[in-house]
Amino acid sequence: MNPYTAIKNAIIIGEYEPGKRLTEEALAEALQVSRTPIRDAIKQLETDGLIVPYKRRGYIVREFSTDDIRQIYNVRALLESHGTSEAALNRTEEEVEAIRTKNEEYEKAISQWKRSDIATIKHIQQTNQEFHEEIFKAAKNEHLRLLISKVVVVPLVFRSFYWYNERQLLRSLEVHKTILNAIENQEPERAKIAMQEHIYQGRDDVLIQLNNPQIELWKGEAQ
């Protein structure tokens, strides 16, 4: 595994928790590589918005306030709902089948869900991400895809899936099916509304859990 992927995964699952300081030296020692690939990985992680420069030296894993989360998800809702409406207008039959296949993979991943199993949660998050990516391929708008990639903060998405219970996962699956049907039937407004509500629901779930002092963060179990 290359250093960029290794560090990104560690941030996603909480091994490197929000606020943790990272230095080239420590990362190079932990991953048993030279500092050159670490330097390249850090540049990419900063571009991704997962780390920010530390006031003295090094970097820290980015922390998110409730305002940050609300703003990120609101922008996602705007962009992704528009992209989904474009997918409904522009999709081909092959692209509909690709979206359907990814949603079937998502459904299978949910069926294998275990509450404290990080691997199954990562698989659910990954298949969900692939479902969304197939939609934006069908939209045929590369500028929109680039913008969306900049605001989808994977640790926040992973955190929402970690906190989900089975009922919430099945609710997400049902909304996926609604989105798929709207795209297949070329109903742009219906597709747009369904995706917008889907993103807003994810936002609300994250905010609720962050404000619940009885919920333990996933980082302890992820290590």
Please, are residues 86 and 144 in contact by the beta-carbon 8 Å criterion?
yes
- Cα–Cα distance for residue pair 181/199, rounded to 1 Å: 17
- Cα–Cα distance for residue pair 124/107, rounded to 1 Å: 9
Give the pLDDT confidence score for residue 217 in this predicted structure: 46
- Residue 211 has phi, psi (to 5 degrees) of -95, 5
- Cα–Cα distance for residue pair 29/25, rounded to 1 Å: 6
In the chain, which stretches have pLDDT less than 50? 214-223
What's at 34, amino acid-wise?
Answer: S
Give the pLDDT confidence score for residue 141 in this predicted structure: 96
Closest CA to 166 of 112, 215, 99, 222: 112
- Cα–Cα distance for residue pair 160/199, rounded to 1 Å: 11
User: CB under 8 Å to 128, separation ≥6 — which residues?
Assistant: 106, 157, 161, 172
Percent of the chain whose predicted confidence (pLDDT) is above 90:
65
Asked whether the whole model's pTM tops 0.75, one would answer yes
- Cα–Cα distance for residue pair 11/30, rounded to 1 Å: 14
Give the pLDDT confidence score for residue 111 in this predicted structure: 95
User: CB under 8 Å to 166, separation ≥6 — which residues?
Assistant: 110, 113
| Token pair in block for residue 75 | 């922008």
Angle at 73 between CA 133 and CA 182, to 5 degrees: 50
For 189, half-sphere exposure in the C-beta direction (CA atoms, 13 angstrom radius) is 0
pLDDT, tens digit, for every residue of 135-193? 999 999 999 999 998 888 877 787 778 788 889 999 999 999 999 999 999 999 999 99
Give the C-alpha distances (Å, rounded to integers) separating 96 from 80, 153, 177. 17, 26, 12
